[in-house]
Chains A and B, each alone.
Chain A
Amino acid sequence: MALRTLQVAPGFMRFMPKEYQDLVENGPFGRQVKLSDVGTFKEILEEHPMCEGCAMAFFIRLALMGLPNPEHTIMVGTAGCGRMALSQAAIPFVYGNYCDTNGVATGLKRGLAIRFPEQDKDVVVMAGDGGIADIGFSQVMHSWFRKEKFTTVMLDNEVYGNTGGQESGMTCRGTMVKMAPRGKQFDKIDMLGLARTAGVAYIARLTPANPSRVVSTIRKAVLVARKIGPSYVQVYTSCNIEYSIPADKVLDDARQVEKERYGYLEIVSEEAGAYLESVAAEGGEGR
């Protein structure tokens, strides 16, 4: 019973730091929280060392609210900015080498399936565009070909943020960034098309401009990965540092990029769609 790991041993509560007292008494574990409840519960992620106003950090916070069962979820990250927030979240976080997320997630998912055949354990990869589409490409594609049942989320800031702003495969053609002195010479990699070809069951592309859509998209992606097959969510999370976006203009930028080129797109397999409908019909969120 995972929730036992959230009970403080008798007599020790008064020595616990405030954030843990709050998490234990008022965390989002073992119950459904909604975006509209923000402020009434203790969030899985609060303080973190990412840049002020970073859209990626904002997205991660929302995404963690979307997890259907955080008490049975494991996050997998890698080198890149997102790990800085993920390592502070009140949820297990695995961090290996740059490129290994989808291999590690495969092993985690299979190991957990051996040990807990009766209990769904959700595994969610969250890594940068470089981690997913460049160095981790092979492991991502093969996890999809093998139909591994976990969710892959690309934090697409269209650049290598963590190493100071070099070109990634997801940078838009023509953009001048480091190591692309004449502007990027080829198109943004079509990861959604590749996901579809590989038979990913639930595919979504979005921006954090609409927070409640972030929450519901992540929820759907995790539910589908639990029962049907791999899911992939690609989210535009601008890098305010490398693209010089003022911290208070980050959401304006997200709205504009969504309108002009990123849009909202969902590609749902028949089986996944039927499953999501059945979950909705039960009125439940897959608990």
Chain B
Amino acid sequence: MAEMDPCSIGPGPAGLLPPSAASCGVVLPRKGEGLVEGRIVGEQAALEVMARELLTRKHPTVFPGPLVLWDWRDGVSPKAAAVLELAEEIPGVQIIPMPDYRPIYPKIDPEAVINPCHPNLTIWHNKIEVCVFVGVHCHYANITLRMIRAGTNCYTVTLCHSAGHEDSMASLPFCGAEQVRALTGTIRRLKRQGLRPLHGEARGIRLTGAQQAVQEGLVWQHGDGA
């Protein structure tokens, strides 16, 4: 029998229920390493890939999770600031939060949240082809990433506070504010070196329809105009 090859973990859709990357033999990176499409690389190499994908794919989106959205302990706000700074460097970016993990009933508003029980509703609706997860507890990140890989063509980047994620296409473990800033720095450098972002020179974070409505005090009903 042939030896099992480490899976190549590229963007999907990978099918109804692809096996988890871990069960295909993909292993987690150590500190100072990163994971790109199933293979261990150096941290800087991972950052290069992340930066390039974020600049060159459609509708880049940052998905901040509870650990960075809620200012629950010291150290969160510098990291949160670093995440916002990162977003600012990605033309055309949106920020859609994952504020909690419950299955949302009666239905979710895909312009307001992403949810680990049905993440693809948000990915599909907003036509997101590259995203960054940061501050999500690993269990929920892993099931989310697996469903996104199964059902969408979105390139998933993870800046994990812990051991990293095999099912994301590019993952960095043990990320604090410093690693987030390192990604921002890499994006800036690539742009300086002439990489033309897909979404041009657009600056600032785009608000989704839901976020705009909330800001303007309007009653937003998902499905009305979307």
Do A and B touch, yes or no (CB under 8 Å, in the complex)?
A: yes
> Is A10 a contact partner of B70 (Cβ separation < 8 A)?
no
A21 at the interface (CB under 8 A from B): yes
User: Chain A residues with Cβ under 8 A from B80's Cβ?
Assistant: 9-12
Query: When chains A and B are docked, how far (Å) is the Cα of A14 from the Cα of B97?
Result: 10
In the assembled complex, how far is the CB of residue A162 from the closest CB belonging to chain B, in whole angstroms? 15
| Closest Cβ neighbor of A15 among chain B residues | B95
Interface residues contributed by chain B, number (CB under 8 Å):
30
> Is B97 a contact partner of A49 (Cβ separation < 8 A)?
no
User: Chain B residues with Cβ under 8 A from A6's Cβ?
Assistant: 70
> Is B69 a contact partner of A14 (Cβ separation < 8 A)?
no
A7, A15, A20, A21 pick with most chain B CB within 10 angstroms: A15
User: Chain A residues with Cβ under 8 A from B104's Cβ?
Assistant: 88
Which residues of chain A (1-37) have a CB below 8 Å from chain B? Answer: 4-12, 14-18, 20-21
Which residues of chain B (43-83) have a CB below 8 Å from chain A? Answer: 64, 68-73, 76-77, 80-81
> Is B109 a contact partner of A9 (Cβ separation < 8 A)?
no
> Is A4 a contact partner of B71 (Cβ separation < 8 A)?
yes
Stretch from B17-25, B156-164, B206-214 contacting the other chain: B206-214
Q: A15 is contacted by which of B70, B71, B96, B106 (Cβ under 8 Å)? A: B96
A8, A48, A84 pick with most chain B CB within 10 angstroms: A8
User: Chain A residues with Cβ under 8 A from B214's Cβ?
Assistant: 14, 17-18, 21
Q: A4-B72, A16-B97, A20-B99 are in contact. Are A9 and B211 (CB under 8 A)?
A: no
| Closest Cβ neighbor of B67 among chain A residues | A9
B103 at the interface (CB under 8 A from A): yes
Q: A49 is contacted by which of B105, B109, B215 (Cβ under 8 Å)? A: B105
| Closest Cβ neighbor of A90 among chain B residues | B100
B40 at the interface (CB under 8 A from A): no
> Is B70 a contact partner of A84 (Cβ separation < 8 A)?
no
User: Chain B residues with Cβ under 8 A from A12's Cβ?
Assistant: 64, 69, 80, 84, 95, 97
> Is A11 a contact partner of B84 (Cβ separation < 8 A)?
yes
B139 at the interface (CB under 8 A from A): no
Query: When chains A and B are docked, how far (Å) is the Cα of A3 from the Cα of B221?
Result: 30
> Is A9 a contact partner of B76 (Cβ separation < 8 A)?
yes
B71, B95, B103, B211 pick with most chain A CB within 10 angstroms: B71
Q: A8 is contacted by which of B71, B73, B113 (Cβ under 8 Å)? A: B71
| Extra inter-chain contacts (9) besides given A9-B70, A11-B84, A16-B99, CB under 8 Å | A4-B71, A10-B80, A14-B214, A16-B97, A17-B97, A18-B112, A18-B214, A47-B106, A49-B106
Closest 5 CB pairs of A and B: A9-B80, A17-B112, A49-B105, A7-B71, A9-B71
